[in-house]
Chains A and B, each alone.
Chain A
Amino acid sequence: MVDATEPPAVDVVPATPITLRRDATPGWEPDLPASLLLRRLLADRTAVIGLVILTVLVAAAVLAPWVAPHDPAAQDVLNKHAGPSGSHLLGTDQLGRDELSRLLWGARASLLTSMLLGTAVLVIGSAVGTLAGFVGGLVDAIAMRIVDVMLAFPNFLLVLVVVGSLGPGLFNLSVAFLLAGWVGYARVVRGLVLSARERPHVETARALGFRPARVVLRHVLPTVLGPVTVLWTVRSGQLLLALAALSFLGLGAQPPTAEWGSMLNSARDSLAVNPALMIYPGLLITVAALGFNLLGDGLRDILDPASR
């Protein structure tokens, strides 16, 4: 007989809590609904930091006309290189213009332009890529040969040629980037569309007799959206840096337009007198680029758990 008072021979192992990871499924998961993606995005620290940086900067850029304390072009030559004060929170530049106001307005020229440009490039490139990938045949062949030719040119050379013939200026520079930039998207989107059109639910949509436009817009493009969003973030960051670099070289925004790159350039002369004038725009360019990259990394991780 077993003595009832005797303790059990086997120790009861303390139960370890079993945590069910939402992201336990391996492989690319582009098909999660938007709400779940948003929740994951907010749980990803990298992405959230990037998102916060960009949100703050974009808000500053959009609200610049209302929050900027001074006219960014108003000169006050008697008060140049002033240090921070109550009326000029970040001091004044070499022409006595309010530095904070110029930085805020500069966010429009730098950040908003690069984001708009990034979007325009995405739309054109995606349109060409989708058309080539979905229609195929001759359309695909012609579009991709054009892309090949464009890719054979070094991108910067192309930009310099266009700016050289149109003349410097933020608008002309944007045109140059637009001409050079859509190619990369077209290539990538074409590949994504090619694989998407073989997916069963896209084939089903075709078998149901839907118009090609419906098949593309409702069934192909949504599956392409994830990777394209990642690409958009990364490209916009690159565009921001390139715009600033070319403006620094005098090919982009022309004085007196406030733009971070050209502000860096004009601050060079007074580096010894007032180094802060270089630090502020330089820091903003770095932080904004960082924001794009962090968000891009975070998005990629969310959309492709295999990369973790």
Chain B
Amino acid sequence: MTAPLLVVEDLVKVYPVARGLFGRIGSAVRAVDGVSFSIAAGETLGLVGESGCGKSTLARCILRLIEPSGGHVSFAGADVAGHRGEALRRYHQRAGMVFQDPFGSLNPRQMIGDMVGEPLRAHHLVGGRRSERARVGELLDLVGLDPGRARSYPRQLSGGQRQRVAIARAIASEPELLILDEPVASLDVSVGAQILNLLADLQTELGVAYLFISHNLSVVRHVAHRTAVMYLGSFLESGPTPQLFDRPQHPYTQALLSAVSVPDPDRERERPRIRLTGEVSTSLDVPTGCRFHTRCFRAETVCSECEPMLDRVGPNEHRAACLFPGDRVALRQTHAAH
């Protein structure tokens, strides 16, 4: 096996809050709390979790758009923490990002062609105006936009078209990794599906790896080779997508999956659901022990004392951070036995 493209080790991002008069640090938001994972070249890692669990913070820390408080990120074998100036720019040339909001992420004053050509100019990837225009045309074509759109402004495009522009811009510098932060969340379902297909095509064509962030489980199941489930700044479960979705081992993953509706109304009605109780914790006040124990239906006393590690629970690096991992079915049987 070749070395992974991106390796994240024990990444931490802490935001101090309630700073006192003399700079005393009161409490702290642990937005990302010790996350480790890796992505191989050409692979898609899906990252799911509820709002505010630190998905976007994690993404920004990886690209050093915000500085991580601790841990390591290495890209293609090099630690990115030391990158300054030119080295950081070259890193951003090889690892890019597409944001959720296709309305805000495009400069409203820039024409599409200029916008897509800007990374080419900034990274000196084209010789002159003419070759830039040709390459911009190719890129627009590649993302399914009419190259004639080069002279449009973002406000003249639909949401889906704008997201295509954002993607064209992100792939302009031929990156090896793209972080997709909720790329389809603000689009209609049909438009979102087109964008997902486009992303899949681009992956086959260009061999780019994705970190695909979403709160939509169905979308992640569709696109990701592997999936990680994040909760309050930490991974609770990760593994190959089919395995994780078919046999989730962590109660949180099981609860999340039980909330996904099924198209068939009869099956939907009979579908067993897990309803989580308990207060939703915030990353300002992460519970002791297992961070999920306050809402967990399987929690025992020990769960509030011991913090579980992300341990192997199945083949193919299927891992879960739970003291009592197990299938739902098996679990129900054990409960029935009591």
Instruction: Determine if chain A interacts with chain B.
Output: yes
Find chain A residues with CB under 8 A from B123 CB. 209
Q: Mark A200-235, 1 if CB is under 8 A from B, else 0.
A: 110111111111001000110010000000000000
* Distance in angstroms between the alpha carbons of A214 and B91 in the assembled complex: 17
- Asked whether, in the complex, the Cβ of B173 is within 8 Å of the Cβ of A209, the reply is yes
Q: Do residues A208 and B105 form an inter-chain contact, with CB atoms below 8 A?
A: no
Interface size class of B (residues with CB under 8 A): 20 to 34
**Mask for B121-147, Cβ within 8 A of A = 1, else 0?**
011000000000000000000000000
**Which of the residues A31, A203, A211 comes within 8 Å of B65, measured between beta carbons?**
A203
CB atoms of B91 and A200 under 8 A apart: no
Query: Scoring B residues 58 to 81 as 1 if CB is less than 8 Å from chain A, else 0, what string do you get?
Result: 000001010000000000000000
Structural contact, A208 and B108, CB atoms closer than 8 A: no
The distance from the CB of A304 to the nearest CB of chain B, in whole angstroms, is 16
Number of interface residues of A (CB under 8 A): 20
Instruction: Type the 1/0 row for B86-115, where 1 means its CB is closer than 8 Å to any CB of A.
Output: 001111110011010100111111100000
Given contacts A33-B153, A211-B89, contact A204 B105 (CB under 8 A): yes
Q: Give which listed residue, B88, B104, B153, B166, contacts A209 with CB less than 8 A.
A: B88
In the complex, residue of chain A having the shortest beta-carbon distance to the beta carbon of B114: A218
Complex Cα distance, B243 from A245, in Å, reads 80
A202 (CB) vs chain B CBs: closest residue:
B107
| Residues of A132-148 contacting chain B, CB below 8 A | none
Q: Is the CB of A207 within 8 A of B97?
A: yes
Q: A209-B90, A209-B173 given as contacts; is B109 within 8 A of A222 (CB)?
A: yes
**How many A-B contacts if CB must be within 8 Å?**
67
Chain B residue nearest to A210 (CB atoms) is B122
Contact A210 B118, beta carbon cutoff 8 Å:
yes
A199 proximal to B (CB < 8 A):
yes
**A200-B99, A219-B107 known; A208 and B122 CB under 8 Å?**
yes
Among B91, B93, B166, B173, the residue within 8 A (CB) of A204 is: B166
Interface residue SS majority, chain A: helix
A residues near B89, Cβ cutoff 8 Å: 209-211
B220 within 8 A of A: no
- A209, chain B: closest CB distance, angstroms: 3
Q: Does chain A have a CB within 8 A of B169?
A: yes
Q: Spell out B's residues near A (CB within 8 Å).
A: 63, 65, 88-93, 96-97, 99, 101, 104-110, 118-119, 122-123, 153, 166, 169-170, 173
* A interface residues with partner B (beta carbon < 8 Å): 31-34, 199-201, 203-211, 214, 218-219, 222
20 A-B pairs within 8 Å (CB atoms) are namely: A199-B104, A201-B105, A201-B106, A203-B65, A204-B99, A204-B105, A208-B92, A208-B96, A208-B119, A208-B122, A209-B88, A209-B89, A209-B91, A209-B92, A209-B93, A209-B173, A210-B89, A210-B119, A218-B107, A218-B118
- A-B pairs with lowest CB-CB distance, top 7: A209-B92, A200-B104, A31-B108, A209-B89, A200-B105, A207-B97, A201-B107
Q: Beyond A203-B105, A208-B96, A208-B173, list 12 extra A-B contacts (CB 8 Å).
A: A31-B108, A32-B108, A199-B104, A200-B105, A201-B106, A204-B97, A204-B106, A208-B118, A208-B122, A209-B122, A210-B119, A214-B122
